[in-house]
Amino acid sequence: MNQHPHVAVVGATGAVGIEMIKTLEKRNFPVGRLTLLASARSVGKILKFRGVDIPIQELTKDSFAGIDIALFSAGGDISRAFAPIAAAAGCVVVDNSSAFRQDDKVPLVVPEVNAADVKWHSGIIANPNCTTAITLMALYPLHQAFGVKRVFASSYQAVSGTGAKAIEELERQVGQVVHGQPVTREVYPHQIAFNVLPHVDSFLPSGYTKEEMKMENEGRKIMHHPSFRASVTCVRVPVYRSHSVAVSAEFEKPVTVAAARAALLKAPGLDVVDEPAQKLYPMPLFTSEKYNCEVGRIRLDCALDNGLCFWVSGDQLLKGAALNAVQIAEELLK
The residues annotated with a catalytic role in the active site are 130, 243
Give the Cα separation of 285 and 279 in Å (integer). Answer: 14
Q: Output DSSP code: residue 176.
A: H
Q: Output DSSP code: residue 184.
A: -
Give the Cα separation of 98 and 80 in Å (integer). Answer: 10
Helix (H) or strand (E) holding 95: strand 92-95
SS (H, E, C) 26-78: HCCCCCCEEEEEECHHHCCCEEEECCEEEEEEECCCCCCCCCCEEEECCCHHH
Long-range contact list for 118-121, CB < 8 A, 24+ apart? 118/328, 118/331, 118/332, 121/92
Cα dihedral sign, 100-103-107-113: positive
DSSP secondary structure string for all residues of 276-305: GGGTB---HHHHTT-SSEEEEEEEE-SSST
Q: Output DSSP code: residue 324.
A: H
Q: How far apart are the first and last CA of the chain?
A: 9
Judge whether 42 and 56 are in contact, CB under 8 Å: yes
